[in-house]
Amino acid sequence: MKQYTTEQIRNVAIVGHGGSGKTMLVEHMLYTAGATDRLGSVDAGTSQSDFDSQEVNRHHSVNLSILPLEWHNHKVNLIDVPGFPDFVGELEAACRVVDSVIIVCEAKADLDVGFDLAWEAAERNNLAKCIFINKLERDNADYEGLIETLDRRYGARVVLCELPMGTQANFKGTIDLLKMKVYKGKDRGEEIEEIPAEFADEAAYRREKMMDAAAEGDDALMEKYLGGEPLTDEEIEHGLMLGIKEGRVVPVLLGSAASGLGIALLLDRIVGELPSPVYHPVTWNDKKIPEDPKGPLAAFVFKTTSDPYVGKINYVRVFSGTLKRDMEAWNTNRETKERIHHLYIPHGKGQEETQEVPAGDFAMVAKLNDTHTNDTLSTVDQKVELEPTAFPGPVYRVAIEAVAQSDEDKLGTAIQKVLEEEPTLRARREAEIHQDILEGMGDIHIESVVSKLKTKYGVNVKVVEAKIPYRETISGTAKAQGRLKRQTGGKGQFGDCWLELQPLQRGEGFTFENKVVGGSIPKNFIPAIEKGVRETLIEGYVAGYPVVDVRAIVYDGSYHDVDSSEQAFKTAAKLAFHNAAEKANPVLLEPVVNITIDVPDDAVGDVMGDLNTRRAQTQGMEPVTAGITRIQAQVPMAHVARYAIDLRSMTKGRGRFATDFSHYAEVPAHEAQPLIAAHQARRKSEED
């Protein structure tokens, strides 16, 4: 592929709901442009973008994929983005580094949640937007219903630039409102005809609307248009480009990704009306950095993958300057130097080695020592640090267990590599519950991570339910004795101490005090008593969970000159703690989280009713945007373990939520009792 100037590059993310036909659309665009000699298939696992083993088996995208093509002396970098909400991290990464998005949607009245996610991500990143209506040939296609929905939601921003010539079984071609011709061509062929009489009036009306939108953003065009002169095709295209770039215009194109109808026109619109990187500069230190190949180097790492054979691979968008092979770059985030040994242009699963990559283009760099997602590569003398991608936090929590000891030995290393690839994933060891916890965006996300651990890193794990990190405390004050006296021949064991337990405020933890006077317990045994108490705190008393917010005071006891030892007093302290805790009204505590839920207005009643069954305490409700209400509440963690799945079901995928820890609160007796009974049964089983 030849070298292109920044003005000749178009960086476009193909986004939308899962199953809307994004990958097949990309496949047909590559084939139409001659970038590939064969037309791949998602179902057959032969598409250019879905090459990962998971994607082949699942028949849908899991990772974003970069696929360049050449069209009319332009380079178009297509980024095929997964549409399932579980892989929203890939959407955020893509929208951080492209200049425009094409939102693919099916020809039906309802817009799917993937459409909403893509639109919102494009808005946050100030990207130009285009809507491509797909699957017009389907039996249940509802083009008119979709246009009504788009008009109702977005009004005059949405501008039809094409019309379908028939729908469903009668879909024969697209009417281009710019050239006022019918295009019936599929794939690499092109059949151009005049507009049939039955479509002429609608086409003329829609062209007038398109001309209105084109003239609005340019004073010269508006003056000419208001003067009664029609705009030329070139003027309309220029006006649309300005409107699209500024976000005032969202063009609607259409076709069939399955048959290839409308693909050539779509490529024409991309190079003719979507903005080049020149129109989308980034900001650093409140200053805009032009996308100039001769400017200071600013290369942003937006994705990291790890290959078992090649090692770490960083995907980079060059925003300014030129990234060159064998150059020394400066990682501004980590303040380290990196040598660019090899430089590649990505082509789906393949790559093409290159000597340099100018501003506006994408690159792959392998084997950098300490460079990760969200890092900026610049130079030592002209340091630049670009704003990182704001990835959403995880909402779904499970535990994993290694299947065999050999898996256990490799698990830690494999998890670290997966975390580099998955910015929306969190992993940690929770010592209190003795589990390795994985947190992601949903069950499908976790399934893909588990599959990646097995297929990519040879680590077999199984998913189990994550335990809730309950805790225990006391609600009253009590005193008790712990006495150990054993004589088994020879030296015996003797330890005797009195403890007083007092409750502390939530979050104060544990304090230990020595108030022994008169030498009833020698000072050298006091640390053993504290150690015995601390070990009991870890083991728990009520249900086997750690004890918190307690003050333990040792104030009396006795000892034996020969038989007393540190071990004896540690055991006596444990006995004293148990005896006192039994009289101090022990209670079980549960973690409570703050939850913020954004739901469509028509689902608020169902969501509120469901929250009431989860013992939630509503903190407030307020409208966020048109049709969306935000609910804020506090709810026990145990009752939101599967909330990502449940909310998706209640809201048809449109509800979103986030949680953060709030505090610990007492578990109601009816829920505490089964936990206590289960612990007692386990203890009895172990004793037997």
Predicted confidence (pLDDT) per residue in 619-632, tens digit: 999 998 878 999 99
Residues 42 and 157 in one domain: yes
pTM above 0.75, yes or no: yes
Q: What is the pLDDT of residues 413-455, one digit of tens each?
A: 999 999 999 999 999 999 888 899 999 999 999 999 999 999 9
Same domain, yes or no: 441 and 320: no
Long-range CB pairs of 656-659 (<8 Å, 24+ gap) are 656/597, 656/598, 657/395, 657/595, 657/596, 657/597, 657/598, 658/392, 658/393, 658/395, 658/595, 658/596, 659/395, 659/593, 659/594, 659/595, 659/596
Q: What is the CATH number of the domain that holds 441?
A: 3.30.70.870
Residue 231 lies in a domain: no
Angstrom distance (rounded) from CA 138 to CA 107: 8
Of 56 and 272, the structure prediction assigns the larger pLDDT to 272
**10 and 107 share a domain?**
yes
* Judgement on whether residues 325 and 422 belong to the same structural domain of the protein: no
Q: CATH number, domain at 170?
A: 3.40.50.300
3-state DSSP assignment of residue 641: coil
pLDDT tens string 651-674: 988 899 999 999 999 999 999 999
Integer Cα distance of 651 and 56 in angstroms: 29
The reply to whether 253 and 321 lie within a common domain is no
Residue 269 and residue 297 in one domain: no
Q: What is the pLDDT of residue 678?
A: 87
Confidence of residue 280 (pLDDT cuts 50, 70, 90): confident
Are 34 and 180 members of one domain? yes
What secondary structure, in 3-state letters, does 326-392 show?
Answer: CCEEEECCCCEEEECCCEEEEECCEEEECCEEECCCEEEEECCCCCCCCCEEECCCCCCCCCCCCCC
- Condensed to tens digits (0 to 9), the pLDDT of residues 359-402 reads 999 999 998 999 999 999 999 888 999 999 999 999 999 999 99
Q: What is the DSSP string of 32-52?
A: HTTS-SS---TTTT--SS--S
Give CA–CA dist 129/597, Å, rounded.
Answer: 27
Residue 225 pLDDT level (bands cut at 50, 70, 90): confident
H helix intervals, 33-127: 53-58, 88-97, 113-124
Write down which residue in 279, 295, 319 finishes a domain. Answer: 279
Residue closest to 298 by CA, chosen among 377, 366, 361, 371 = 377
Whether residue 156 lies inside any domain: the answer is yes
- Cα separation of the two ends of the chain: 73
Band of residue 288 on the pLDDT scale cut at 50, 70, 90: confident
Domain total in the chain? 5
Q: Per residue in 3-21, pLDDT tens?
A: 899 999 999 999 999 899 9
- pLDDT for the residue 387: 93
One domain, residues 438 and 541: no
| Residue 254 and residue 343 in one domain | no
**SS3 of 84, please?**
coil
| C-alpha 126, offset from chain centre | 19
Please check the confidence at residue 410 and state whether its pLDDT lies above 80: yes
Please name the residue that has the structure tokens 């590559």: 30
Q: What is the pLDDT of residues 236-249, one digit of tens each?
A: 999 999 999 999 99
Amino acid at 346: P
With a cut of 60, say whether residue 114 has pLDDT above it.
yes
* Residue 178 scores a pLDDT above 60: yes
Question: How remote is the C-alpha of 322 from its chain's centroid?
Answer: 30
Q: How confident is the model at residue 50 (pLDDT cuts 50, 70, 90)?
A: confident
Three-state SS string across 417-448, please?
A: HHHHHCCCCEEEEECCCCEEEEEECCHHHHHH
Q: What is the CATH number of the domain that holds 488?
A: 3.30.230.10
Token pair 């001769």 is found at: 294
308 and 357: one domain?
A: yes
Output the average pLDDT for the chain. Answer: 92
Tokens of 546: 């750690």
Residue 143 in any domain: the answer is yes
Instruction: Calculate the CA 215 to chain-centre distance.
Output: 39
- pLDDT at residue 132, rounded to an integer: 98
Give the pLDDT confidence of 300-309 residue by residue, as tens digits: 999 999 877 7
191 within 8 A of 184, measured Cβ to Cβ: yes
**Do 274 and 361 sit in the same domain of this protein?**
no
238 part of a folded domain = no
Pick from 349, 378, 407: which residue ends a domain?
378
Does 78 score more than 90 pLDDT? yes
Q: What is the pLDDT of residue 45?
A: 73
CA distance linking residue 298 with residue 562, whole number of Å: 75
Query: Does residue 213 belong to any structural domain of this protein?
Result: no
Q: Are residues 65 and 151 in the same domain?
A: yes
| Domain of residue 12, residue span | 6-199+247-279
Last residue of a domain, one of 531, 566, 584: 584
pLDDT value for 684: 76
CA distance 373 to 386: 12
CATH of residue 629: 3.30.70.240
Q: How far, rounded to the nearest angstrom, does the alpha carbon of residue 488 sit from its chain's CA centroid?
A: 63
Which pLDDT score is estimated for 484? 94
Whole-number pLDDT of residue 190 = 64
**CATH number assigned to the domain comprising residue 357:** 2.40.30.10
Residue 346 resides in a domain: yes
CA gap 97, 81 in Å, rounded: 12
Confidence of residue 44 (pLDDT cuts 50, 70, 90): low
Q: Is 677 domain-assigned?
A: no
- Polymer length of the chain: 688
User: Once rounded to an integer, what is the mean pLDDT over residues 580-598?
Assistant: 95
Would residue 678 count as lying in a domain?
Answer: no
Q: What is the pLDDT of residue 541?
A: 85
